[in-house]
Amino acid sequence: MLCILGASVIGGVNLFLLIGARGKVSWRNFLPAYWISWAWGLVVPGQVGDIAGISLLLRQHQIALHESLSRSILDKSISLLVMLLFALAGLSAIGWGPGKINLPSPRDVLILSGILLLMSVAWKRFLGEYFRARAPALARLVSRLCSEIRTTGRDNRGRLVVNAALSVLKVSLIGTAYWLVFRAAGQTQLQPLPVIGLAAASSVVAYLPISFNGLGTVEITAISLFSRLGASGAVTLSVYLSLRLMVLLLAWLPAVLWMLTRSKQE
């Protein structure tokens, strides 16, 4: 529980480093908005719920929608990158490293880069014109988001470095929570570092907007991965469901209390 709580607070600090950089909102006002949006994001497919929630809640503090959205997207991108690095380490621990899979050749990389470049050009020239004509509001929002992300990256490099370092700590704490619950379930043969890596690998699936916060897809992925470390499917499923319930309680209880307190004040 303490590991999950610590990781959750670090997640809030990470986002506050970016959204609070201009001094428009205090930590005291930011934390309830972050916690409520995090709770909401746990029951919405993908990572849409908390990003949209925090952006809407912060509008009362005169933070523009494109500003909060762009900085939330940037924070999510850093977290995803850190999780992918941990996931690669975890997959390597179970033998899914470069020696076990066929890596793309330099030619394939060049072809893929060329395709991405053409898609970028097509977006700017053709799709951009299409959306500007058919959906000008959406086109302006996307343009402002891209501009805000570039500005934030340029003007807050130190904060981005701190964000990345704290993201490493956050992922480590979450993985440690999984390791501790596995040990409590009798899986004492598991070592912490592989568990942290595989927990990150399974959590990446939650970023896909398939089910409510990856419910089902994360567990199926985890069962497949942890079977390589000797953990049975039943044990892995019980560990993941226990932690999912713990996270829901940790997120929703304070969120409900904050919302009730706010409704009474109004």
pLDDT digits (tens, 9 = 90+) for 218-248: 999 999 999 999 999 999 999 999 999 999 9
Residue 192: other Cβ atoms inside 10 A: 15
The answer, yes or no, to whether residue 101 has pLDDT greater than 50, is: no
pTM: 0.81
Q: How many domains does the chain have?
A: 1
Of 14, 82, 83, 1, the residue nearest 54 (C-alpha): 14
Structural domain span for residue 245: 2-265
| CB 212, CB 45: distance < 8 Å | yes
Tokens for 68? 């909060």
Cα(99)–Cα(179) distance, rounded to whole angstroms?
27
Q: Which residue has the higher pLDDT, 264 or 41?
A: 41
Residue given tokens 């596995």 in the structure block: 182
